Amino acid sequence: GVAGRNVKGEEIKATPGKDLTLVLGKNVAWDNNRIIATCDGEPSMIGRKIAIQVVHEVKENVGYNTGNIDFVGCVHIRGDVENGFTVKAAGDVVISGNVEGGFISAEGSITINGGIIGQDKSVINCKGDLYARYIDHAKVNVEGEIKVRDAIIHSYINCGRKVILGTKKGLIMGGVVRAGELIEAQFLGSKMGTQTEVEVGINPSFRLEMNELEKRLPELERELDMAEKALTILNRQGYELSPEREEMKAKLTRTSFVLKAERRKLETRRDEIMEQLNERQIERGYIKIRQTIYPGVKVIIGKAVRIFKDEFNFAVLAYDEGEVSIQPYR
C-alpha cells in the first residue's frame, strides 16, 4: 500500500497487503507476475483456481443425432438436452434450450436458459452454481448457489449455499429444498396445501454423509464382533491348529485389523462433521419469503422443525433457541 494523509495533513501509514494465493489450473502459466493463457478457450475461476477451458459447441439438440456428450472442457449446447441423454463437462455447461429428462454433470457451473423438465428422470450435478428459468420434477445437487427465475416444483434440491428465486413468480411448491445458508422466494407451498419441505443451516452434503456414516458404523461393529468372536474360539483351542485353521486365523486377524482401521477413520470423520453442525453454524441459516407461506409447509433449521397450519406473509424464518422463529421480512 501507499501512505496517505488525513485532513490535518498528518501521514497515515499504509497497512501492508497480503499476497493473494492463486492456483494454476489447465492451460495457464506464470509470465512476469501475470497469468497467461497457453491456448484458446474460456477463462474460469473455481475457488482460487484459475484455468482456461476449451469450449465444445453443439449446434443442435443433444439427442440421437449427437449421442451423449463427455468433454474435458466447457460445453455450449445451442438446443435442448433430450430425454435419456447425458452431458458431462470438466468445465461449465451452457444450454440454450431446456433439459428434458436428461442427466447433466459439470465440474464448473451450469446455465440453462430454458428450464429443467425433469419427468422424475432428470439429475443435475455441479460443483459451481446453477442458473435456470424453472425446475420441475428433477433431482439437483449443487455445491454453490442456485438461482431460478420462476419456480421449483416437486423437485429434490440439495444446495451447498443459497437457493434464490426471482421476484415475479418466485415459487417453491412440493418436494424438498435444502440449502446450507439461505432459501429466498416469493411463495412457499400453495393454496391447496401442497406438502413442501425446506431446510437451511446445514450443508446438505454433510447431512447425507452423516446418514451414510450412521448406517455404516453399526454394520462395521457387527462385522468386527463376528470376526473377533471367531478369533476367540480359535485362540481357546488348546491343541495345535491345522494348516486350514491357521490360515483362517490369519485371515480373521487381517479382517479385524482392517475393520478397526475403517472404524477409526469413520468415527474421526463423524466427529469432524459434528463440529460443523453446531448452533453457531445453524444460526447462519435463513429462509426469506417475500410474499406468502402456505399451510402444509415444513421448515427445518438445524434440529428445529415447524409445520405451518396457517398462512404467513412477508416472513423471515430463523433459528432461535431450538425453535423456528418468524420475523418480519425487511
* CA nearest to 316, candidates 324, 299, 308, 328: 328
SS3 call for 97: coil
Per-position pLDDT tens, the chain of length 330: 688 888 888 888 887 777 777 788 888 898 877 889 887 777 877 778 888 878 888 999 999 999 999 988 889 999 999 999 999 999 999 999 999 999 999 999 999 999 999 888 899 999 999 999 999 999 999 999 999 999 999 999 999 999 999 988 999 999 999 999 999 999 999 999 999 999 998 888 888 888 899 999 999 999 999 999 988 888 887 667 788 888 888 899 999 999 999 999 999 998 888 877 766 677 788 999 999 999 999 999 988 899 999 999 999 999 888 899 999 987
pLDDT value of residue 279: 65
The three three-digit cell numbers of residue 184, written as one number:
429466498
pLDDT value of residue 238: 63
SS3 call for 216: helix
Report yes or no: 79 and 65 within 8 Å, Cβ to Cβ: no
Q: Can you tell me the distance from the alpha carbon of 148 to that of 107, in angstroms, rounded to the nearest whole number?
A: 20
Report yes or no: 301 and 178 within 8 Å, Cβ to Cβ: no
Structure letter (DSSP) for residue 15? P
263 Cβ contact partners less than 8 Å away, ≥ 6 residues apart: 217, 220, 221, 224
The three three-digit cell numbers of residue 152, written as one number:
421449483
Alpha helices in the chain (DSSP H): 204-236, 243-276, 279-282
pLDDT value of residue 211: 86
